[in-house]
Amino acid sequence: MSLTKRENELIDKMLSGDRIALARLITLVESRYNSVPEILKRINPKTGKAYIIGITGPPGAGKSTLVNEQIQSYKKDGKKVGVIAVDPSSPFTGGAVLGDRIRMQDHALDENVFIRSLGSRGSHGGLSRATKEIIKLYDAFGIEIIIIETVGVGQTELDIIKLADTVIVVLVPESGDVVQTLKAGLMEIADIFIVNKADREGADTLSKEIQGMVSLSPRDSQWDIPVLLTSAYEKRGIKGMLKEINRHRSFQIKTNLLNKKREKRIEEEFSQIILEVLEHKIHEKLDDLEVGRVLNMVKEGKLDPYEAAEQVLSRIL
């Protein structure tokens, strides 16, 4: 479908730096409007420049405070920053319970900072897709640093974090058994470990445990994963964190790893788009009754699912 005049105007305004237009386009993406693919097609030539930082870890680890300090530092460097904060959904409205994160409100009116919360809605794939699309909008808008903050550790978070160029895993002394935490898959995705709230008892012990596990990690990489101690509330360790992010970025550029990561994302996106186009064409060309008839034959054992799928696809290809 083609874009409406209003949608084209929104894109034009967004590309010229209009924050309200960006917010409205994000709402269209979240609401899964039919025009979303056309919107993304129009802005695609303007994407590919932003650097994406993913921050994950258990609830209460102080991730939002760390993000707040990152925003402050990048602002001082004159960089445009965008945050996507993934929150647990309200069981009543489906919206983000934590809103745009209270601690980040200091930056809400800053023209070089844009913050958006996403409610997880219990959707495994939908949230990941919406996040990808919002990243593209941020990128086209001219945002240089995009920070994705997830609310906890789970399969959805691990999927979202694949979108990041640098992944930071934040733990705190009271996170519990570090072995169990790292079994969740964090060892495989972390580029930087942070033990936050380092003024609390047990921080040094936790840091040493993580360092020990990192040293035994089978990851095939020349990158030595740093384990940092921070106290975001007291603004301690922030410079060290930013230094390691920059070092990781430089390392990836030097080893061509950054290009490889982005090529992999493009490949996955291409496959996903093909599947979405096929699904759309199936619903466009075959009515529900026809698909239902084939499905009933499968249920009754008159047709195996593979042959049924071939029959459906043969009518649209």
CA angle centred on 207, ends 204 and 211, rounded to 5°: 140
What's the rounded Cα separation, in Å, for the pair 188 and 214?
Answer: 10
What's the rounded Cα separation, in Å, for the pair 313 and 307?
Answer: 10
pLDDT at 23: 94
pTM of the full structure = 0.86
What's the rounded Cα separation, in Å, for the pair 34 and 247?
Answer: 41
pLDDT at 59: 79
The per-residue pLDDT for range 109-124, each reduced to its tens digit, is 688 999 988 875 544 4
What's the rounded Cα separation, in Å, for the pair 199 and 62?
Answer: 13
Give the CB-side neighbour count of residue 285, counting CA atoms within 13 A. Answer: 12
Of 99, 112, 129, 149, residue with least CA distance to 19: 112
Return the CATH fold of 47-254: Rossmann fold (3.40.50)
Q: Token pair 């058994």 is at which residue?
A: 177
pLDDT at 129: 77
pLDDT at 96: 44
CB 53 within 8 A of CB 148: yes
pLDDT at 30: 87
Q: Which residues of the chain have pLDDT under 50?
A: 90-100, 122-125
What's the rounded Cα separation, in Å, for the pair 157 and 162?
Answer: 9
pLDDT at 100: 39
What's the rounded Cα separation, in Å, for the pair 140 and 47?
Answer: 5
pLDDT at 41: 93
What's the rounded Cα separation, in Å, for the pair 202 and 172?
Answer: 9
Q: Which helix (H) or strand (E) holds 21?
A: helix 19-30
The per-residue pLDDT for range 222-261, each reduced to its tens digit, is 888 999 999 988 889 999 999 999 999 999 999 999 999 9
Q: Which helix (H) or strand (E) holds 148?
A: strand 145-149
Q: Which helix (H) or strand (E) holds 145?
A: strand 145-149
Domain regions of the chain by residue span: 1-45, 47-254, 267-314
CB 63 within 8 A of CB 83: no
pLDDT at 125: 46
